[in-house]
């Protein structure tokens, strides 16, 4: 599997076929001389802003940490939840209950629902 | 049958993309300043647009991804952020110009200053998006937009010299005022080849759940839809050439442009012009607001869809809400609508390379275009457009300063 | 290898140096294979300009550009996982000489 070509930035679909965001980042670990393992998918938070170069990235990350829903902490999901890798990545998670849609729910509850006629 | 009805997607894309304030302004100024000499940039822009729109539709039908979605998918966030930011800024200026155009149309009819109309126009547009599914934009705008046919009627009634018109289809050297001539060329191209059309059209295709069986109708829609807009823009130019060029008028405001149809059509012409300007601009406002919401949501991975209930796609709705809330203020503060229009067209031309270059890769990558990757003609057109766009990007600001209206 | 988790997306485009300080290229791609609920990294692909490659990969099938020399001619090198030292993820290093690396085969 090619990480950049096949996984990074690709769409995530949850267990009920709902759109769940995109793979914004991946986490790799290794202990000592062990072979490195990619264990976690990251969505949202400062993951994207930290991919921006130089001071833009730092400012962006600072803004997201200050005003973001989870103070910039991204939603993390273990790789073991992945059911299928295709052009989209299907995962065994319920997006609405998992916390992945936290900022979407916040906008819905604090802004959309307050507009008359919602 | 359903597929034929999708022709309306093409027409609405065209109306919102073509018969909006930028096209009306630049075509009018072209006719007034140079008679029929500047028909060729309209023709060129239309042909390029047909190819680009067809590619957007083909991408959507085969990959089920929109243009922005495919860009994020294929190039990653690191690249995507560049078009996202630059195009959002430029598109905001175009949006402000369209609000100005619609507001001005209302001033023509009511006599109340356009500055008072800017906020109501933005509110109306927001309300249509908030309450209406995609079909409202897709079906009603073209229906009401048929009023723009009045330009064709007007142009025909003015009995232009068709030989001169045909001559204008090919590029000729300007007889005078070179800087202004090329400034108008840039403006016409920037008004015609607007990237937001591709984001809107491909998103409309995905909302309409197109698949590979739509490929033929997509070609038909791209050709008919964009040609419709192109013919209308040429009609505006012809009417302007007949009415304003002999008098040597330099068009500085929409008040003057509005007189274009009163010759052939009397006072009806004035009101029909206002109605056409209004609906063209409103169509553009709706398309632009949706295009930015699509581009942002699809690129950042948020749920999106004009056909979805707002509660299900809150961040998508938030984008067009914020955009429309910010849109009227330049106009309210009294910035000249024509000046905003001109600047927005110039900047659109300047940022075209950013929007078009990804196409050459996407449309040749079988992962996204399946078995329907570009043929050599398509690639030649895209490469030509990229080269042209890069040239435009370099000359546009100097021309704006040297030859600007 | 560090104990701290590494953000894979930030490894991209990082320049990789060999022990003598020569540049071996930039990390363009990482290859991994599924194993026990995670992905086991087995290879890093290095290239001249990483993210530019991401643009150019689609041009492989574009004969004109290949003639102009843009495309597969710019083959990079691959680094097996055990030759990559990521103790400082901002400055990746290979543990063998640059010229010992094999070219990428697809």
* Complete DSSP assignment for B109-178: HH-S-HHHHHHHHHHHHHHHHHH--HHIIIIIHHHHHGGGGHHHHHHHHT---HHHHHHTTS----SS-H
Q: What is the pLDDT of residue C83?
A: 92
Shortest distance, CA C68 to any CA of chain B (angstroms): 15
Q: What is the pLDDT of residue C100?
A: 83
Q: What is the pLDDT of residue C59?
A: 44
Taking residues B212-217, what's their average pLDDT? 92
Q: What is the pLDDT of residue B2?
A: 67
Beta A89-91 vs A11-13: how paired, if at all? parallel
* Alpha carbon distance B381, B370 (integer Å): 20
Q: Is the confidence at residue C58, as pLDDT, over 50?
A: no
Q: Cα–Cα–Cα angle for C52, C53, C54, nearest 5°? A: 90
Q: What is the pLDDT of residue B292?
A: 96
Contacts of C35 in chain A (CB under 8 A): 37
Report the residue of chain C nearest A38, measured CA to CA: C39
Taking residues B290-318, what's their average pLDDT? 93
* Alpha carbon distance B11, B29 (integer Å): 24
Minimum-distance CB partner of C8 among A26, A31, A78: A26
Rounded to two decimals, what is the model's pTM?
0.91
Contact call for B314 and A87, based on CB within 8 A: no
Nearest to B192 by CA among B33, B395, B25: B25
Q: Lowest-confidence range among B4-13, B133-142, B154-163?
A: B4-13
**pLDDT per residue as tens digits for the range B252-296:** 788 888 888 888 888 888 999 999 999 999 999 999 999 999 999
Contacts of C7 in chain B (CB under 8 A): none
Minimum-distance CB partner of C55 among B361, B366, B379: B361
Q: What is the pLDDT of residue B1?
A: 59
Q: What is the pLDDT of residue B30?
A: 93
Contacts of B81 in chain A (CB under 8 A): 52
Q: Is the confidence at residue A91, as pLDDT, over 90?
A: yes
Contacts of C55 in chain B (CB under 8 A): 75, 79, 361
Q: Which distant-in-sequence residues (6+ apart) come within 8 Å of B228 by Cβ?
A: B10, B11, B14, B15, B18
* Alpha carbon distance C74, A71 (integer Å): 42
Shortest distance, CA C75 to any CA of chain A (angstroms): 16
Q: Cα–Cα–Cα angle for C52, C45, C14, nearest 5°? A: 60
Tokens of B217: 């109708």
B230/A contact by beta carbon, under 8 A: no
Shortest distance, CA A107 to any CA of chain C (angstroms): 28
* Alpha carbon distance B399, B183 (integer Å): 5
Q: Which of C13, C54, C58, C61 to mutate to test the interface with B (most CBs of B within 10 A)?
A: C58
Q: Is the confidence at residue C99, as pLDDT, over 80?
A: yes
* Alpha carbon distance A39, A27 (integer Å): 6
Chains in touch with A (≥3 Cβ pairs < 8 A)? B, C
Nearest to B83 by CA among B349, B295, B232: B295
Contact call for A35 and C34, based on CB within 8 A: no
Taking residues B315-341, what's their average pLDDT? 93
Q: Which of the two residues, C53 and B231, has the higher pLDDT score?
A: B231
Q: Is the confidence at residue B10, as pLDDT, over 90?
A: no
Tokens of B225: 């839809």
Q: Which of the two residues, B59 and C75, has the higher pLDDT score?
A: B59
Q: What is the ipTM metric for this complex?
A: 0.92
A-contacting residues of B 55-94, CB under 8 Å? 63, 69, 72-73, 76-78, 80-81
Q: Which of the two residues, B400 and B43, has the higher pLDDT score?
A: B43
What pLDDT band is residue C63 in, cutting at 50, 70 and 90? Answer: very low
Contacts of C31 in chain A (CB under 8 A): 1-3
Taking residues C56-75, what's their average pLDDT? 50
* Alpha carbon distance B60, B71 (integer Å): 12
Average pLDDT across chain C, whole number: 78
Chains in touch with C (≥3 Cβ pairs < 8 A)? A, B
Tokens of B284: 């553009």
User: What is the residue-wise DSSP string for chain C?
Assistant: --SS-EEHHHHTT-EEE-TTS-EEEEEEEEEEEEETTEEEEEEEEEESSHHHHHHHGGGGG-HHHHHTT-SGGG--EEEEGGGEE-SSTTS-EESS-GGGSEEP--
Q: Lowest-confidence range among A14-23, B139-148, B205-214, B294-303?
A: B139-148
Q: What is the pLDDT of residue B90?
A: 93
Minimum-distance CB partner of A11 among B301, B314, B321: B301
Tokens of C77: 């090198």
* Alpha carbon distance C24, C79 (integer Å): 10
Taking residues A36-54, what's their average pLDDT? 91
Shortest distance, CA C1 to any CA of chain B (angstroms): 26
**Which parts of B240-342 are beta strand (E)?**
none
What pLDDT band is residue A115 in, cutting at 50, 70 and 90? Answer: confident
Shortest distance, CA C65 to any CA of chain A (angstroms): 21
Q: What is the pLDDT of residue B68?
A: 94
Taking residues A12-22, what's their average pLDDT? 93
* Alpha carbon distance B272, B300 (integer Å): 42
* Alpha carbon distance A45, A65 (integer Å): 8
Report the residue of chain A nearest C33, measured CA to CA: A1
Average pLDDT across chain A, whole number: 90
Q: Which distant-in-sequence residues (6+ apart) come within 8 Å of A93 by Cβ?
A: A14, A15, A20, A77, A81, A100
Q: What is the pLDDT of residue C53?
A: 59
Q: What is the pLDDT of residue C70?
A: 54
Q: What is the pLDDT of residue B212?
A: 92
Q: Chain centroid to CA A30: how far?
A: 22
B73/C contact by beta carbon, under 8 A: no
* Alpha carbon distance A17, A90 (integer Å): 8
What pLDDT band is residue C1 in, cutting at 50, 70 and 90? Answer: low
Q: Which of the two residues, C53 and C43, has the higher pLDDT score?
A: C43
What pLDDT band is residue B230 in, cutting at 50, 70 and 90? Answer: very high
How many cross-chain Cβ pairs, A to B, lie less than 8 Å apart? 59
Q: How far is CA B85 from CA B76, B314, B396, in A?
A: 15, 21, 20
Q: Is the confidence at residue B298, as pLDDT, over 90?
A: yes
Tokens of B85: 């930011």
Q: Lowest-confidence range among A77-86, B67-76, B248-257?
A: B248-257
Contact call for C1 and A31, based on CB within 8 A: yes
Average pLDDT across chain B, whole number: 89
What pLDDT band is residue B87 in, cutting at 50, 70 and 90? Answer: very high
């Amino acid at each position: 599997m090619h990480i950049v070509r096949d996984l990074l930035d690709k769409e995530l679909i949850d267990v009920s076929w709902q759109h769940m965001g995109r793979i914004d980042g991946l986490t790799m670990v290794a202990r000592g001389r062990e072979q490195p393992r990619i264990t976690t998918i990251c969505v949202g938070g400062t993951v994207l802003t930290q991919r921006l170069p130089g001071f833009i990235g730092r400012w962006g990350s600072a803004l997201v940490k200050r005003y973001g829903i989870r103070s910039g902490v991204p939603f993390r999901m273990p790789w073991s939840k992945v059911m299928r890798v295709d052009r989209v990545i299907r995962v065994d998670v319920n997006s609405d209950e998992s916390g992945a849609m936290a900022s979407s729910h916040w906008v819905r509850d604090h802004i959309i629902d307050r507009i008359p006629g919602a | 049958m359903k597929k034929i009805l999708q022709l309306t997607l093409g027409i609405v894309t065209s109306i919102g993309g073509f018969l909006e304030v930028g096209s009306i302004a630049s075509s009018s100024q072209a006719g007034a300043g140079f008679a029929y000499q500047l028909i060729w940039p309209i023709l060129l822009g239309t042909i390029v647009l047909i190819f680009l729109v067809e590619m957007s539709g083909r991408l959507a039908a085969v990959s089920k991804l929109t243009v922005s979605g495919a860009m994020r998918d294929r190039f990653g966030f690191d690249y995507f952020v560049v078009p996202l930011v630059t195009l959002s800024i430029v598109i905001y200026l175009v949006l402000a110009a369209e609000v100005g155009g619609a507001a001005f149309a209302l001033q023509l009819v009511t006599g109340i200053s356009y500055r008072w109309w800017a906020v109501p126009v933005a509110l109306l547009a927001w309300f249509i998006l908030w309450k209406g599914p995609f079909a409202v934009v897709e079906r009603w705008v073209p229906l009401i937009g048929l009023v723009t046919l009045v330009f064709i009627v007007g142009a025909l009634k003015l009995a232009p010299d068709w030989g001169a018109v045909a001559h204008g289809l090919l590029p000729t050297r300007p007889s005078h005022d070179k800087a202004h001539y090329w400034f108008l060329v840039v403006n016409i191209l920037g008004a015609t080849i607007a990237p937001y059309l591709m984001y809107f059209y491909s998103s409309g295709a995905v909302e309409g759940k197109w698949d590979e069986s739509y490929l033929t109708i997509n070609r038909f829609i791209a050709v008919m839809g964009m040609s419709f807009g192109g013919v209308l823009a040429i009609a505006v130019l012809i009417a302007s050439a007949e009415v304003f060029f002999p008098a040597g008028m330099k068009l500085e405001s929409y008040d003057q442009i509005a007189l274009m149809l009163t010759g052939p059509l009397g006072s009806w012409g004035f009101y029909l012009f206002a109605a056409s300007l209004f609906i063209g601009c409103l169509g553009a406002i709706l398309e632009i607001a949706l295009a930015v919401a699509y581009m942002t949501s699809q690129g950042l991975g948020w749920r999106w869809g004009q056909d979805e209930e707002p509660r299900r796609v809150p961040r998508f709705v938030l984008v067009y809400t914020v955009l429309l809330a910010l849109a009227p203020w330049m106009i309210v503060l009294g910035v000249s609508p024509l000046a905003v229009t001109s600047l927005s067209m110039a900047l659109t031309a300047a940022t075209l390379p950013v929007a078009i270059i990804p196409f050459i890769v996407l449309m040749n990558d079988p992962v996204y275009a399946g078995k329907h990757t570009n043929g050599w003609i398509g690639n030649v057109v895209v490469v030509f457009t990229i080269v042209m766009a890069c040239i435009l990007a370099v000359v546009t600001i100097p021309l704006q300063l040297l030859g600007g209206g | 290898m560090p104990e701290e988790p590494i953000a894979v997306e930030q490894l991209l485009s990082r320049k990789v140096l060999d022990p003598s300080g020569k540049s071996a290229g930039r990390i363009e791609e990482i290859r991994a294979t599924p194993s026990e609920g995670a992905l086991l990294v087995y290879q890093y692909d290095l290239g001249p300009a990483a993210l530019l490659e991401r643009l150019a990969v689609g041009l492989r099938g574009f004969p004109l550009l290949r003639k102009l020399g843009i495309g597969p001619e710019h083959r990079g090198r691959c680094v097996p996982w055990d030759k990559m030292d990521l103790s400082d993820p901002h400055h990746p290093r290979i543990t063998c000489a640059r010229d010992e690396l094999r070219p990428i085969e697809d």
